[in-house]
Amino acid sequence: MPREVVDDIYLIQECNDRTALTEQYSKEAPDWYEEGKTVHSSQSAYLLLGEETLLFDTLSPAATEQVLTEVDDVLDGRDLDYIVVSHPEAPHAGNSRELCAAHPEAELIAPDYGNTHELYYLGDATQISPGATLDIGGFELEVLDPVFVDHKMHIWLYERTTGTLFTVDFLGLMHLDGECLACTDELNEPVAPHRLELFHGRALFWFEYADLQKVDAAIEDIIETYDPAVLAPAHGFVVREETAAYLRNMKSVVRSIAADRAVSEAW
């Protein structure tokens, strides 16, 4: 079910059991794993209710009925005005066609990346570039060039009123059953760096080769430029407290990913 994580910003989350990881961790448990728990991966969409309404990302095709139902539940009879896709991958754009069919009044918006938009039925989407803004009354969203990219066809959003930074693939991690829809301030313990390392070492594998000083500088620039009050990733926990510390924690995560590559190459 959806939950309100910030005033009038709702999280809609698709959770998937990761059976292989659950079996692995039951034998070689990392420090954050709890015995008997199932490991989940997640896709998240965010629905903003201003004077107009906006959905950021659409979940995967496996969650079509869920996203259609939960969007309608939150809208409670209102129109959906905008559907914004961060990038054309299944977890983010997988239900763009179905949502547009259910909400023909909505404007579909996708990143401006040239003339090829065949993926995920984005051919008729309005293309939007970093620097653009979307004012939906009560919320003003700025389109950002991602600091840490999944691939080029990709945007982040920053909501200026609440200070919410939507980081898409950055800050993703695995969670356990019982932690679905949770925010970091609701967890029993702080997020262990290994949880972030596991995700980023696969989803943003180029961290293996990153210039660590540039990574540090980029993280500090996010903090200085946006001073985010909330971090809202597509595959991780919403962070509503101590956001700067959470971002700075990624410095050690990237260093650990880079060190693993160095050890592997040494062998």
Query: pLDDT digit string (tens) for 162-183?
Result: 999 999 999 999 999 999 999 9
Domain edges within the chain: 3-266
Given a contact cutoff of 8 angstroms between Cβ atoms, the answer to whether 170 and 204 are in contact is yes
DSSP strand pairing (126-128 vs 107-111): parallel
Q: Looking at residue 114, what is its pLDDT?
A: 62
Token output for 179: 């932690």
| Residue 122 pLDDT | 84
Distance of alpha carbon 40 from alpha carbon 235, whole angstroms: 10
Residue-wise DSSP of 9-53? EEEEEEEEE-HHHHHHHHHS--TT--TTPPEEEEEEEEEEESSSE
| 153 touches 113 (CB < 8 A) | yes
Q: Strand 156-159 to strand 175-176: parallel, antiparallel, or no bridges (unpaired)?
A: unpaired
Cα 174 from Cα 34, distance rounded (Å): 13
What pLDDT shows up at residue 266?
39
Tokens 């910003």: give the residue. 9
| pLDDT tens profile 215-239 | 999 999 999 999 999 999 999 999 9
DSSP 238: B
CATH topology of domain 3-266: Metallo-beta-lactamase; Chain A (3.60.15)
Q: The pTM is what?
A: 0.95
